[in-house]
Amino acid sequence: MFDDSQGMKTNLSELGEFGLIEHLTRSFSPKLTSTIKAIGDDAAVLNFENKYTIVTTDLLVEGVHFDLAYMPLKHLGYKAVMVNASDVYAMNAKATQITVSIAVSNRFPVEALEELYAGIQLAAKLYNIDVVGGDTTSSTSGLLISITALGVADKDDVVLRSGAKPNDLLVVTGDLGAAYMGLQVLEREKQVFKANPNAQPDLDQYTYLIERQLKPEARKDIPPLLKELGVKPTSMIDISDGLSSEVIHICKNSQVGANLYEDKIPLDPAVISVCEEFDINSTTIALSGGEDYELLFTVSQEDYDKIKANPNLTVIGHMTEEEEGMHLITRANTKIPLIARGWNSMEDKNKKNED
C-alpha cells in the first residue's frame, strides 16, 4: 500500500524514535480542564476532583484485528479511539483522555503513521478527548496499537454489567449488523480486485455498511441522553462482539435470564437487502456480527414511558429469572436458546470459523 510510487517514502530511521514522537504528536494540544499535563513529561497529570475515574484499554494487532488491505490507516486510527471510547460510554461515563502506544515495523513510512495519527486526532477532536501520552517502539513484523482511555462519571451515575433484575426491559441503541456486512462487502471487493485489478467497484448502495465498518461512531450521546430522560440503566455493555454475546454477558454478570424478540431487533434497510444478496439470515448477523459499537442496557419497567418514544432506543426484550435461561423468541414464536456466536438454528453456510 505504501510503496514509493505513491510518494510516501520517508523512512522511520530518518526521524528516530524521539523525532517520530515529536512529529506525530506536535499538533496535539489538551483542551480539557481535567488535563493538567499531557504529552512531554514522564507521565500525564489529570485531575478529576471527587468523581470516579474510568479506565479501559484495548490492543489492536495487524492481521488479527485489522487488515490494512482494506482498512485505510486514517480509519484505523479513528476506529482504535472509538473502540475505547465505546467502553467508557458503556459505563455511563464521559471519555476524557487517551494514551496511544504503537509498535511499528520499518515497512511503514512516516507518512503512513501520519495517516494513522490523523485518524486518531480527528476522533479525539470530535469526541472531545485529549491525547495525553503513549509509547512508541519497533516491531519486527506488523503494526500494533494499544489505546488506554480514561473517563469520568459522578459516583451515582456509573453503570455496571451486573445490575439487571428480572422483568427489566432490554434496550439497544441504533441498529445492528451493518458493520459486519460492511466487512463482507469489503472482503468480496478485495477478492474481485485480486482477480481483476482493473475492476471498478460500485459501492454506492453499500455506503452505510462500509462506513459502519470503517468509521464506527461510539455512542457518546447516550449517557447524556439517559440523564436528560431521567433514566439510569440497571446494567449496560457496549456491542463489540454481537448482540448475543453481550446479552449473555449481562445475564451472567447479573444472574438473570433474558427473552430477546427477533422481530424487535433494529436493522437498517441496507442490512436487510445486503443479507438477501449474500443469502445470509439478518438476525444471525445482528446476533453475532459484532463491531456495531452500539450500547445495550437494561432499565426498570417503570422507565418504559421515558424511553418508548425515543428514536435512538429500541426495546428488544426483557430479563427473566436466571432459571428460565436466555432465549431468542423467533418471528414464528419459537424459543431458541441464545449462544455466544449466533444461535443454534444457524444454517451451515452461514457458520463462521470458530478459531
In angstroms, give the least distance from the CB of 87 to ligand ADP.
19
According to the binding rule CB under 5 A, does residue 17 interact with Mg ion? no
Whose cell is 414464536? That residue is 333
According to the binding rule CB under 6 A, does residue 41 interact with ligand ADP? yes
Q: Which amino acid is at 90?
A: A
Contacts of 303 (CB under 8 A, 6+ apart): 169, 230, 231
Q: 287 pairs with which residues across the strands? A: none
According to the binding rule CB under 6 A, does residue 347 interact with ligand ADP? no
Contacts of 258 (CB under 8 A, 6+ apart): 170, 247, 250, 251, 317, 318, 319, 320, 326, 327, 338
Q: Between residue 111 and residue 150, which ones bind Mg ion under the rule CB under 5 A? A: 135
In angstroms, give the least distance from the CB of 117 to ligand ADP.
8
In angstroms, give the least distance from the CB of 207 to ligand ADP.
32
Angle (CA) 25-26-32 rounded to 5° is: 75
Q: Between residue 96 and residue 155, which ones bind ligand ADP under the rule CB under 6 A? A: 100-102, 131, 133-136
Q: Which is nearer to Mg ion, 135 or 263 (CB)?
A: 135
- Is the dihedral angle over the CA atoms 299, 300, 304, 307 positive or is it negative? negative
Q: Which is nearer to ligand ADP, 39 or 123 (CB)?
A: 39
According to the binding rule CB under 6 A, does residue 42 interact with ligand ADP? yes
According to the binding rule CB under 5 A, does residue 14 interact with Mg ion? no
How does DSSP assign 113-180, residue by residue?
HHHHHHHHHHHHHHTT-EEEEEEEEE-SSS-EEEEEEEEEE-GGG---TT---TTPEEEEES--SHHH
According to the binding rule CB under 6 A, does residue 21 interact with ligand ADP? yes
In angstroms, give the least distance from the CB of 21 to Mg ion.
8
Residue 134, contacted partner among Mg ion, ligand ADP, none, CB below 5-8 A by kind = ligand ADP
Binding site for Mg ion (CB under 5 A): 135
Binding site for ligand ADP (CB under 6 A): 21, 25, 39-42, 100-102, 131, 133-136
